[in-house]
Every structure is written in C-alpha cells, then in structure tokens.
Structure 1
C-alpha cells in the first residue's frame, strides 16, 4: 500500500480487496451536491522528451502539439480499425504531458504506446506515485479550493497551476461545479483535514457517477475496441480533432464523421438493477433477438439502481429497452446534457 493509500485508510477509507483494492468510501455516503473523491482508480502516464508532444500527436485523436499550458483536453487512443482502446485526459506539467486513464488500462496502453516510440525522442513513465488526483464537486468544494488557488478555472477543461498543484475545471454535473485537483501526495495530506471539514470525502464511484451525469464516456477493460469515437459522443465532448494529422484508425473515424448519417449514439440511462456493468448488452422489444447497444459506464445510484451511459442504435431508441435480454430490467433513456449534432 502506498503512502497515499495508507493515509486514506487512516482517515477511515474502506477498500474492497475482492474488487482489486477499490476505495469504497468513508462511511456514510456523501450527497452528490458536495463531495471530494480520491481518484485512486485512475492511473497516470508522463510523456517527456523534446519529441513527446509530436509522438502523442501522431497517436491520439486530439491535437497534442498545440495543447496549451492553461488547458486540459480529452483524447482517444484507437486501434487501426478506429475503435477506442482508451479515453484519456491530457495536460501539460513540468514532467511532460500527462495522460490520465483508468489504472486497469494503464499497463497495456503504456506498453502499446512504448512500442511505437521507435527513434522518437520521447519517454513514457508511470507517474501514479508522484501525483494524486482528487475530484471535487459542489459549492462547498469550490469555496474550499479558493483557499488553495489564487483563482479557479472558469471554463470547462481550463487549468490553473499553483504551488498547491494543478486544478482543472470539469463540466458541471448534478447542477454543481466540478474540479479535478492534481497534486503531490504530501500536499494532499496537508490539505486534507481542512478540506474534509467542509467537503465530505467519498468513493471514486461517486465521481464516476458524476461523469455519467455529465455525459463523458470512459473506456474500461470491458469496452475496449468496441466503439468508434462518435458512437460514444466522444467528438461532441471535445475528444476528437478532425483537422489534425493521421493517427491509428483516423481514416475510419473521419469516414464515420463525413459519410452518411450516424446510426449509433450514446445516451444516459437509469436501470432499476444493482448489478449493471460496462459491457453488458441492451435489447429492444421490437427486435429481441439481437442486442441494440451496450452499457458504456454504470455506477450504483442512491435509489437502489444504477446510472448509466449506453451506446444504442438510434432507430431503436424509442422502443422498450431492456438490460441483458429482451425481458430484462427496463432501461430508461435520457438525453445527454449537451447538443447532439449531426456531422456537417
């Protein structure tokens, strides 16, 4: 157990060893309107070297070469078939360009990227022990962060740097502001007593649920190589730049954007079932013999069910949708909180 994890355990955090050491919370569940969650489920890759940005620019779906120091960007890493192997959040730091992704995916993605470095002057390193990530949401969290940062980022994915670390404004969810704080473990430990006095600590699952509410997909081991970016609205949330140069799968991603109308999209959903997992298939009553889509992300909610993001055939989105089989639990669909536009 790292020093950071041991510190969280000392603060009352519980860990589920059967789930790979997942942090399960700090006792009473926090209300979604205000919480801070140590994101111990996320990994971090530092890409350094004078050609690090150029190397990533040729691998990811978004523009890396023009990534500014005052912003973060979503990006995807695709297979040659244009299917997402990972979704990442990237930003610049002193150690290079940082790539945040699920810890369960990091070893394989880092190894795969390393294979393509070849002669490029770029180096990849695991940075998860050097920086910790904490997701904070709500007005109380915003007020508390004002004591750590001279100014807070206002626009989505804007970033500010200070002695306390880096702070990234994330899209709102649950009608409250959200922030991603990246800092050194010792800084987080020093700030924890004051922060936790006004902002209830929570499990990473609550932050993931807020990501679902914001309509931001996260590729996990169960959904790797399943979706072209547009199938999970990834270009709508800023994860794809169609004006940049080539990257693995770029031709297929571009073809999906410009040739014909998109037939599959991602929607929010709620299911009255506790056991809902990414990768589970969904079915329409009008076509019960074959799946019409797949669960992208799912997290338990406070109503005994699960909040989800689901990828679905648009032609069947009005039909009765069920989980697992055509007679499974009802999947109640809802719109994502941003415009869903067709390619021009």
Structure 2
C-alpha cells in the first residue's frame, strides 16, 4: 500500500483516509483550489489480446465507447444482478484497461474476474506502482494545463501527457483525478503546491456525495442492484450492449420498473458521522433505508447518501438520533445512456 506520509507528508488516519493539519479543509475547497491524495482508490489493470472481449462480458459498460478519451462508469454484478463493485474504465492502450474502484474492492473484484479470465487471453494485476491525486477548484483545469501540460478533459473523459493521466469528475467545483507513477508523485505534488492547499481525501469523498456518486466499498458487496444507487442515471449502465453477468436482472428491473429502493442525498442535523448500514428511521423507529456513506461538510454537519424505499415515507426521519434533511440530487433520476456522454472529436 502507498506510503503517503513518505510521498507527500500526509498523516494516515485509517485504512482509507489520510489527512493534513490544514484547518477547515472542506471550506478550503469552496474558497480556493486544493490537492489531495486519493488513498481510498485503487487500480486494477486488465491487458492482453482478449482484454476488451473479456471485460465486455462482465462489465455494464459498453467497452467500445472507452475510446477517444471517454472513460465510462461501469459495475460488475452477480448473476442475480447484485453489485460486487463499481468503477471507472480507462482505455490506456488498444488492449490495456484500468479499472478504478474503491481500494477495498481491488482484491475481491480481481478474485471474481479470475473465475472468467481463464477462458481469455487476458492478464490482471493491481497497479500499486501508480498513485492517484485529486485536484479540486475553479482553477483546477487551468492548473492542469499550465503545470502538467495536460489539456483538461470533459467530465468522464481522459487525457494524458506521457505517463501522467487526468480524469474529470463532476462535483460542486471542477474536479480532476490524476494518475502518475509513484516515483513521479513528489514532482507533481510540488508543481501544484504554490497554487493549491493540501487537504485530506475526506474532502474528495464529500464532493462525491454532493455529486450523488455512491462508490461501493467492501461492506456494500452483493447488496444492491445498480439502479438502487442511481447508477443508470449517471450513465453507468449501457442498455444497448449485449449480455454481461447479471444483465438480464438489471434490464428487467429497468424495463419493468421494479426498483424498490433509490439513492438519496441528505444532511443530518449533527456532527456525528453514521456508519454504512445505519438505519434511516421515522419517528416511531421504523427503518425505511440505510446510510451508504457520510462525510462532514464545510459547516461541520454530516452529509450522507442513503438507499431509501421508493414508497412515500412519513416524516420526520433521522439517523442515530440526528434529524435528516433531504437535499436535491444534481441530476435527474432517469436513464442516461452512456452513448450520449461521449464527447465528439
């Protein structure tokens, strides 16, 4: 695992988090540009003569779209349509792809895909030699071009300069995910230092919540259909491709309108962070959903994504005694075909 303290002076907080002494870090990301180590993410590389054909049979993404800079969202499911992992797909070369999931899913995802890889000319390996950094702020695209000589990509697109890569993610401020070789991370960190403030990766995760992006962790495996975390509303499912593991169930849920739970965004009136799986309850203590993820916002209150029943629920709702205030998602909860997201060149 990456030694973030040695590389950039970050303090390890737990297996997923690193931090800095910077005060009011979430607020800094509103007022200025910030940089952060993305310690909670990992890269699984798939390469070989059959790499695309292999992934096409397992991923919800249409792999042929992962070209000309487009880096689609995807997910991997059980035969019953339950998600084992979600990720972003980057085509690095003709038959070499990077999957970017949450770090705790790297080994389980590889183990799952290994069951099918034996039938293809495809190799998989975890790329611990690559490091990911986050760049957030209104000046982030200009910094990418001026300091790293990379033309800023569109949202969910990929650009590169040599061994340095950049991906654009949505959020309340422009966000760029940088991928660089471990031996180069110090150089990149210092190039950005005069123009950005270092913050912990909890800030990046907060912006994921505010973007309505639910990135699975190991604790979420085999629990949700993709639509339960609004994955089709983010372009994470191609309904125009052929079969993949779990496709029949996912398609049936979509076309028959059988999705009984959906992802919501909310703020809690308190500073206590709930854990994934904590119940969202009504005033009588009856559960109507569960927390997916949570982070503290710029005002010291918990913001969450929760998977909730689609039935009308009597209010007020709360989580661990903290009253829940629904917040608007920044996208429509309806099918978004990834084919429509490919930037024409």
TM-aligned CA deviation for residue 307 of structure 1: 1.2
Among residues 259, 277, 280, which one is paired with 1:279 in the alignment?
277
Among residues 302, 309, 314, which one is paired with 1:306 in the alignment?
302
TM-aligned CA deviation for residue 60 of structure 1: 1.1
Partner SS state of residue 117, structure 2: coil
Report if aligned partners of 2:232, 2:334 keep a CA contact under 8 Å in 1: no
Partner of residue 319, structure 1: 315
Report if aligned partners of 1:261, 1:342 keep a CA contact under 8 Å in 2: no
TM-aligned CA deviation for residue 73 of structure 1: 0.9
Partner SS state of residue 116, structure 1: helix
Partner of residue 247, structure 1: 244
Partner SS state of residue 306, structure 2: strand
Q: Which runs of 5+ in 2 are unaligned?
A: 338-345
Quick one: distance in 2 between partners of 1:239 and 1:80?
18
Report if aligned partners of 2:159, 2:166 keep a CA contact under 8 Å in 1: yes
Partner of residue 39, structure 1: 38
Partner SS state of residue 42, structure 1: coil
Report if aligned partners of 2:263, 2:308 keep a CA contact under 8 Å in 1: yes
Among residues 203, 211, 214, which one is paired with 1:214 in the alignment?
211
Question: Alignment length, in residue pairs?
Answer: 330
* 1:202-261 deviation line (CA, Å, top 9, x unaligned): 111110111111111111122222211111100010110111121221111111101136
Quick one: distance in 2 between partners of 1:242 and 1:47?
23
Pair 1:27-2:22 in alignment: yes
Which of the two has greater helix per residue? 2
TM-aligned CA deviation for residue 4 of structure 1: 5.5
- The normalised TM-score by structure 2 is 0.89
Partner SS state of residue 316, structure 1: coil
Quick one: distance in 2 between partners of 1:53 and 1:275?
40
Partner SS state of residue 242, structure 2: coil
Partner of residue 51, structure 2: 52
- The normalised TM-score by structure 1 is 0.89
Partner SS state of residue 267, structure 1: strand
Report if aligned partners of 1:262, 1:342 keep a CA contact under 8 Å in 2: no
* 1:285-320 deviation line (CA, Å, top 9, x unaligned): 3x743x211111211223332111111112235632
* 1:37-86 deviation line (CA, Å, top 9, x unaligned): 11112111000001011111111111124421412111011122211111
Partner of residue 180, structure 1: 177
TM-aligned CA deviation for residue 186 of structure 1: 2.6
Alignment of 1:318-337 (within 5 A): 319-324=315-320, 328-337=321-330
TM-aligned CA deviation for residue 128 of structure 1: 2.3
TM-aligned CA deviation for residue 3 of structure 1: 5.9
Quick one: distance in 2 between partners of 1:135 and 1:229?
26
Quick one: distance in 2 between partners of 1:85 and 1:186?
32
Quick one: distance in 1 between partners of 2:291 and 2:73?
21
Among residues 288, 291, 299, which one is paired with 1:292 in the alignment?
288
Quick one: distance in 1 between partners of 2:91 and 2:197?
29
Alignment of 1:78-157 (within 5 A): 78-94=77-93, 96-129=96-129, 131-147=130-146, 148-153=148-153, 155-157=154-156
Distance change (3 Å), C-alpha of 1:307 and 1:21: closer
Distance change (3 Å), C-alpha of 1:269 and 1:62: same
Q: Which runs of 5+ in 1 are unaligned?
A: none
Quick one: distance in 2 between partners of 1:69 and 1:342?
23
